Amino acid sequence: MKLCMVVDDFEVIRKITRPIVEELGYLVIEAADAATAAEHCVGEMPDVIIVDWTLPDADTHSLIASIRAEPTAKIPVIIYLTTENNPSDLIKALNAGADGYIIKPFHRETLQDKIKKLTSKKPMMALAD
C-alpha cells in the first residue's frame, strides 16, 4: 500500500488532510513535528510527504533537505503547505527539495489533483548505481 505522511503541528490540519489522501488509496501517518517526521522517514520512507511551512522544532526547509539527503531507494514526493504566497519562501522550499506546494486553506480537489500530478511525473524509486 502507498504511504503518505502529513507533517503539521496543528492536529486539525492533519485530521482534515487524512481522509482526503486516504480517498486516493494511501495509508496515512501523521507527525506533529520535524523530529517525528524524520523518525518515520528512517523507518520507512513515505511515498508522499505533505509538510507544513512552520514546525515547532525545526526549520521546514532543513527538514525537506534532510529527507532528500536520506539514503533510501524510495524517492518521496514532497508537497509544501503554506499559508502565505511568499515567492522567496516558495523558492526556498523548492530549492530544498519540495516538488510542489499548496496554499492553505485548500480544497479537497486541489490536494488530490496535486498528489496525482506530482506522483505521475516522478519516479518513486532511485536508480541503482
11-24 pLDDT, tens digit per residue, is 999 999 999 999 99
Average pLDDT over residues 24-30: 98
Whether residue 125 has pLDDT greater than 90: no
pLDDT at 85: 87
DSSP state of 103: E
pLDDT at 127: 46
Q: Which residue has the cell 488530490?
A: 112
Average pLDDT over residues 80-103: 95
DSSP state of 23: T
The whole model's pTM is what?
0.93
pLDDT at 9: 97
Nearest by Cα to 13 from 71, 83, 78: 83
How many helices (H) and strands (E) the chain has is answered by: 5, 5
What's the whole-number average pLDDT of the chain? 93
The sign of the CA dihedral 99, 40, 37, 65 is negative
CB neighbourhood size of 117 (10 A):
13
